[in-house]
């Protein structure tokens, strides 16, 4: 993909979807003033919905709070721009001398957006600390609190009664411009590094942290950017209606915007626009029916809640039939892109990474320092007397081991021996109960998983943790972005990494659609993208047949040679571990019971037999496959 | 001193109501991971059933029983029609489904009954009071304490002593393991919903005897306190939810007593602000676990 094309694609794609909506809106809004009003309100709702999409789409957190941000902005702009003569009658005792302020509406709107964004930035500190469903509940609480403040701070807002006399200045053109800005911002945020990190956190918080992503921070940025457009929409709405009340920005607007977002698909900006149109049309029809029209000579009864019923039904039906919404995570411009390129389905069991690169290796980087085998000198990674206790269970109990630069070290032992726990301690998922882990000169056992990743410790997981909604390229870019930010000397472009890992063919496919074997490859490529000093692999050969694990040996060696990194890996396949590793530790019940070269370990066959229950040798691969899958 | 004791009594009463609602929410969440936004609507359903009983001219006790029954049935119907199809979907899908149900139920009452509030007269005896050791004890307090105590004890016994209770506790830990033991998933989940409906129905009877009016949209507002109680206690922790409910109740009563009258409308606002600060320090709540994902 060429650079310029990819830089402007969000702009062109956003422009295209905006243009379709704008043309439709202008075609419809050429008649009566009620039609004009309906279209302008719909376009404002689109601004708010795109604003919500920036947060919800990137973080996966459904927000009920954006509507109240729109309300805050509408009231602020009303306070700043309404003629003081009007304010003297509604809010004579307004604090901060606001009753006498009278700004040009444009300035009022801009200032309102700035102040609202600042308020959101403060509230976001608390809201984005929590994740997932809890965060949704907190945003709902925020909706109630803001409504209570708007209703009860009578000196400032005039209370539950209407705040009227707001200069009616919002035109359709302003709103279209605001919507274009919102759509472009949403598209660029989506494609940005922060957006990518937020989406990585959305799909898998644990894996994101292990790839050096500060999830809370990425969520927070999404929140602040999205607040800008929710606020802009709210301020514009106030200046369109001319009179607002706290109820304008409460439950009904919330139900409406949520139905719009959900119908189109939370992960698509085009979807936000499409959902806005469909739900607006449906709600208007329902309202017309509910007003008791005369149809075919019959007077229908008044049904006041019909448009609400419609919105509830939209949400429910979408969730039951197509939870990802109409657009899923596609955009308008993806439709013609898809057509241009034939989608090639890779074979189920593809060639492993490295099979090729391994051979090409010596030509590519002849100068790479590849220390061979176990060596004296300073260890790169040192685990000293590390313990990890969980409520009385000693999962790891005083383990010490060393990994030297460029060394491939294996960790074996029966199920429940504490292997994965040890890996989790090293990578910072847990902080150890006792002992310490040092990387080079630095003690890392007190650092978070994120910061350990920044220092070049990369890992894979026993039960694959990919960013399932991201493409293969994006999965790898998450790692590359961390390398670029924290260890620029090892950063490589995603294209290069894709080529090295042999995943170029499937680069644009969504990770969750790949077969198991390829997912494992992507996970390893993602870890390599970090430009690791130490690569931790948790059962890389799980589920592989003998030929595949043979190829994996070549692949891991190739990675070690290319990256100059050390590798610490866990596996049950003894044949694999004995052939690949230069040094092996045997763990049982949380303690190291043997350590040495493969030869030495093989001689301690009694240990192996006792703890693995299988004979060391060729057949073990097959047996273990069943045990592990 | 007496004033403080009286406030404690009020805090206990309010907290007990929140605890009942929060507990129902927590039971369902702990088993299938659903944050049920339609939980508050069970209270609405129960309240409108009481209203119907009133129009039939039946005595209050019948209203109360019918209200509780309607809430249980409502929970079971919701589970069967809306939540079972999305049981294996993502948590967000499940939550939005319940949100859709919540909106639909509220809209149905708006269309079918009226958007306006409807009165459900309080029974005469509810306001009768007597003083014990200088405390004004009202029948309403006794009703709340009695119902809450019986419900909590009953639930404790059910969870500890019965097979289905053991299955529910186990399901909260690892649902697949429970199914492998030959327990029907549908049965466990239906029981969980029935219990959550029962608790919501009991809460509704208490709330209605105090509040006296039903509106189509009261469910979401009432349910919110139950959600927040769960957040305080740590999502899915049953006794955390109860503790969260009481903390909210005491907090609200204390704020109401201390805030100047001009700010009384902001009681809930201040309360939630305090919860936000609390979350900054303990993002996983009192008894919540740090992300319990297996790696």
Gap between the Cα atoms of B37 and B97, Å rounded? 9
Spell out the residues 6+ positions from residue A556 whose beta carbon is closer than 8 angstroms to its own: A354, A408, A537, A540, A567, A569, A580
Q: What is the pTM of this model?
A: 0.88
Give the model confidence (pLDDT) of B209-265 as tens digits: 888 899 999 998 888 889 999 989 988 889 899 999 999 999 999 998 888 887 777
Confidence of residue A337 (pLDDT cuts 50, 70, 90): low
| Of the listed ranges A24-33, A141-150, B121-130, B283-292, the one predicted with least confidence | B283-292
Contacts A424 to B, Cβ<8 Å: 295
Query: CB contact, 8 Å: B217 with chain A?
Result: yes
The two tokens of residue A572 are 């049950």
Using a pLDDT cut of 90, give the percent of chain B over it: 48
Residue B265 at interface with chain A, using a CB cutoff of 8 Å: yes
**Class of the CATH domain delimited by B2-281:** mainly alpha
Q: Which of A148, A308, A311 sits opposite B265 (nearest CB)?
A: A148
* Beta-carbon contacts of residue A500 (< 8 Å; ≥ 6 apart): A353, A357, A525, A528, A562
Query: Whole-angstrom Cα distance, residue B268 to residue B272?
Result: 6
Residue A368: the pLDDT is: 39
Tell me if residue B104 falls in helix, strand or coil. helix
Indicate left, alpha or beta for B294 from its phi (over 0: left) and psi (-120 to 50: alpha).
beta
Structural domains present in chain A:
3-249 (1.10.3470), 371-456+532-629 (3.40.50.300), 460-531 (no CATH)
Phi then psi for A412, rounded to 5 degrees?
Answer: -125, 170
Instruction: Say whether residue A216 is in contact with chain B using an 8 A CB cutoff.
Output: no
Chain B interface includes A300 (CB < 8 A): no
Q: Where are the domains of chain B?
A: 2-281
CA neighbours closer than 13 Å in the CB half-sphere of residue A626: 5
Greater confidence (B75 vs B121) lies with B75
Winning range, highest mean pLDDT, from A351-355, A441-445, B111-115: A441-445
State both tokens at A547: 């030929």
A347, pLDDT greater than 50: no
Q: How confident is the model at residue B172 (pLDDT cuts 50, 70, 90)?
A: confident
Pairwise CA distance, residues A200 & A190, whole Å: 11
pLDDT in tens, A443-467: 999 999 999 999 999 999 999 999 9
Residue B100: which of A126, A149, A319 has the nearest Cβ?
A319
d(CA B211, nearest CA chain A) in Å: 19
The predicted pLDDT at position A253 comes to 93
Q: How many CA atoms lie within 13 A of A140 on its CB side?
A: 26
CA distance B33 to chain A (A): 10
| Mean pLDDT, chain A, integer | 86
Taking the C-alpha atoms of residue B164 and residue B154, their distance in angstroms, rounded to an integer, is 13
Which tokens in the block code for residue A259?
């139905």
Q: In the numeric block, which tokens belong to residue A310?
A: 């419609």
* pLDDT for A243 beyond 70: yes
* Rounded-to-integer distance, Cα A7 and Cα A9, Å: 6
Q: How confident is the model at residue A608 (pLDDT cuts 50, 70, 90)?
A: low
B116 touches chain A (CB under 8 A): no
CA A466 to chain centre: 11
The more confident residue out of A583 and B286 is A583
State yes or no: pLDDT of A169 exceeds 90: yes
Is 60 exceeded by the pLDDT of residue A616?
no
pLDDT at B289 (0 to 100):
62
Give yes or no for A278 touching B (CB within 8 A): no
A312/B101 touch (CB, cutoff 8 Å), yes or no: yes
Confidence of residue A340 (pLDDT cuts 50, 70, 90): very low
The DSSP string of A566-629 is EEEEE-S-HHHHHHH-SEEEEEETTEEEEEE-HHHHHHTHHHHHHHH-S-SSTTHHHHHHHHH-
B 184-213 near A (Cβ less than 8 A): none
Three-state DSSP class for residue A558: helix
Query: pLDDT value at position A357?
Result: 41
The percentage of residues in chain A with a pLDDT greater than 90, rounded to a whole number, is 62
Q: Does B228 touch chain A (CB under 8 A)?
A: yes
- A148–B115 CB contact, under 8 Å: no
The ipTM value here is 0.88
- Of the two residues B49 and A305, the one the predictor is more confident about is B49
For residue range A415-434, list pLDDT tens digits in order. Answer: 888 999 999 999 999 999 99
Contact A411, A570 (CB under 8 A): yes
The answer, yes or no, to whether residue A628 has pLDDT greater than 70, is no
B104:A462 CB<8 A? no
Which of A164-178, A357-371, A586-600 is the most confident on average? A164-178
Give pLDDT, residue A269: 94
């Amino acid at each position: 993909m060429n650079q310029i094309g990819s830089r402007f694609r969000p702009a062109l794609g956003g422009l295209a979807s905006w243009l379709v909506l704008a043309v439709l809106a202008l075609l419809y809004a050429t008649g009566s003033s009620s039609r004009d009003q309906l279209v302008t309100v719909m376009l404002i709702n689109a601004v708010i919905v795109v604003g919500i999409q920036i947060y919800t789409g990137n973080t996966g957190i459904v927000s009920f709070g954006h509507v109240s941000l729109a309300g805050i902005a509408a009231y602020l702009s009303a306070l700043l721009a309404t003629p003081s003569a009007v304010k003297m009658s509604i809010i004579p005792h307004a604090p901060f001398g606001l009753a006498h302020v009278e700004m040009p509406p444009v300035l009022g709107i801009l200032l309102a957006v700035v102040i609202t964004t600042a308020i959101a930035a403060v509230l976001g500190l608390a809201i984005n600390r929590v994740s997932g469903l809890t965060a949704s509940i907190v945003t709902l609480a925020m909706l109630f609190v803001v409504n209570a403040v708007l209703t009860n701070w009578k000196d400032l807002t005039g209370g539950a009664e209407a705040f009227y006399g707001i200069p009616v200045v919002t035109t359709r053109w302003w709103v279209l411009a605001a919507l274009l800005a919102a759509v472009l911002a949403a598209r660029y945020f989506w494609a940005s590094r922060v957006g990518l990190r937020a989406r990585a956190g959305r799909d898998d918080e644990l894996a994101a942290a292990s790839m050096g992503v500060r999830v809370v921070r990425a969520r927070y940025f999404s929140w602040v950017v999205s607040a800008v457009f929710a606020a802009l929409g709210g301020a514009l709405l106030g200046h369109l209606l001319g009179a607002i009340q706290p109820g304008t920005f409460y439950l009904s607007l919330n139900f409406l915007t949520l139905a719009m977002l959900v119908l189109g698909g939370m992960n698509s900006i085009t979807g936000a626009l499409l959902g806005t149109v469909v739900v607006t049309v449906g709600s208007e029809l329902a309202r017309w029916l509910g007003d008791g029209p005369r149809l075919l000579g019959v007077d229908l009864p008044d049904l006041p809640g019909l448009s609400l019923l419609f919105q509830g039904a939209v949400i429910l039906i979408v969730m039951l039939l197509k939870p990802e919404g109409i657009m899923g995570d596609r955009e308008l411009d993806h439709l013609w892109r898809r057509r241009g390129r034939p989608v090639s389905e890779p074979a189920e069991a593809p060639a492993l990474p490295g099979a090729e690169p391994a051979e090409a290796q010596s030509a590519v980087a002849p100068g790479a320092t590849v220390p061979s085998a176990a060596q004296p000198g300073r260890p790169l990674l040192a685990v000293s007397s590390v313990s990890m206790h969980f409520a009385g269970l000693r999962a790891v109990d005083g383990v010490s081991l060393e990994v030297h630069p460029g060394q491939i070290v294996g960790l074996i032992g029966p199920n429940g021996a504490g292997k994965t726990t040890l890996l989790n301690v090293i990578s910072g998922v847990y902080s150890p109960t006792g002992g310490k882990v040092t990387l080079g000169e630095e003690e890392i056992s007190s650092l978070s998983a994120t910061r350990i990743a920044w220092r070049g410790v990369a890992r894979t997981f026993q039960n694959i943790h990919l960013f399932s909604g991201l493409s293969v390229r994006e999965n790898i870019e998450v790692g590359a972005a961390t390398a670029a930010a924290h260890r620029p000397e090892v950063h490589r472009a995603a294209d290069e990494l894709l080529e090295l890992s042999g995943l170029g063919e499937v680069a644009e496919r969504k990770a969750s659609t790949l077969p198991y074997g390829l997912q494992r490859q992507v996970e390893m490529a993602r870890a390599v993208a970090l430009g690791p000093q130490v690569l931790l692999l948790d059962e890389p050969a799980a589920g592989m047949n003998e030929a595949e694990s043979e190829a994996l040996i070549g692949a891991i060696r190739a990675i070690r040679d290319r990256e100059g990194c050390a590798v610490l890996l866990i596996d049950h396949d003894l044949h694999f571990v004995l052939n690949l590793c230069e040094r092996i530790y045997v763990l049982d019940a949380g303690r190291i019971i043997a350590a040495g070269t493969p030869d030495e370990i093989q001689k301690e066959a009694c240990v192996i037999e006792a703890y693995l229950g299988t004979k060391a040798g060729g057949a073990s691969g097959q047996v273990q496959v069943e045990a592990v899958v | 001193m007496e004033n403080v004791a009286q406030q404690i009594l009020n805090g206990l009463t309010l907290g007990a109501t929140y605890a009942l609602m929060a507990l129902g929410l927590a039971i369902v969440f702990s088993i299938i991971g659903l944050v049920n936004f339609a939980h508050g609507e069970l209270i609405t359903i129960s309240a409108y059933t009481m209203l119907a009983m009133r129009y039939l001219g039946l005595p209050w006790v019948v209203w109360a029983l019918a209200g509780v029954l309607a809430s249980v049935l409502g929970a079971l119907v919701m589970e069967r029609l809306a939540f079972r199809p999305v049981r294996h979907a993502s948590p967000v899908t499940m939550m939005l489904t319940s949100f859709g149900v919540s909106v639909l139920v509220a809209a149905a009452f708006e269309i079918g009954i009226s958007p306006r509030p409807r009165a459900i007269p309080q029974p005469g005896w509810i306001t009768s009071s007597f003083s014990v050791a200088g405390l004004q004890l009202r029948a309403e307090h006794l009703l709340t304490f009695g119902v809450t105590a019986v419900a909590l004890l009953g639930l404790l016994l059910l969870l500890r002593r019965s097979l289905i209770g053991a299955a529910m506790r186990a399901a909260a830990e690892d649902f697949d393991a429970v199914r492998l033991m030959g327990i029907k998933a549908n049965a466990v989940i239906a029981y969980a919903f029935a219990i959550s409906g029962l608790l919501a129905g009991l809460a509704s009877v208490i709330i209605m005897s105090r509040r006296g009016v039903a509106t189509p949209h009261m469910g979401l507002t009432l349910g919110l306190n139950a959600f927040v109680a769960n957040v305080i206690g740590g999502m899915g922790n049953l006794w955390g939810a109860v503790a969260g409910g009481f903390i909210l109740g005491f907090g609200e009563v204390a704020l109401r007593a201390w805030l100047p009258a001009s700010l009384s409308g902001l009681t809930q606002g201040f309360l939630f602000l305090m919860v936000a600060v609390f979350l900054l320090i303990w993002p996983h709540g009192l008894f919540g676990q740090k992300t319990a994902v297996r790696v």
